Amino acid sequence: MSTTSGRKIIALNRAARRDYFVLETYEAGLELVGTEVKSLRAGKVNLKDSYCEIAEGQMFLHGAHISPYEHGNIFNRDPLRVRRCLMHKKEIMRLFGKVKIDGLTLIPLSLYFTGAKVKLELGLCKGKKLYDKRADSVERSAKREIDRTMKERNK
Mean pLDDT of the chain: 85
Which of 121, 123, 124 is CA-nearest to residue 110?
121
For residue range 23-61, what is the model confidence (pLDDT) as tens digits?
989 999 998 888 888 888 888 888 888 989 998 889 999
Domain that holds residue 14: 3-128
Does residue 149 belong to any structural domain of this protein? no
Per the domain annotation, does 70 fall within a domain?
A: yes
Q: Is residue 56 part of a domain?
A: yes
Residue 145 lies in a domain: no
How many distinct structural domains can be found in the chain?
A: 1
Q: What is the pLDDT of residues 100-115, one digit of tens each?
A: 888 788 999 999 988 8
* In-domain check, residue 150: no
- What CATH number should be reported for the domain holding residue 61? 2.40.280.10
Q: How far apart are CA 113 and CA 110, in angstroms?
A: 10
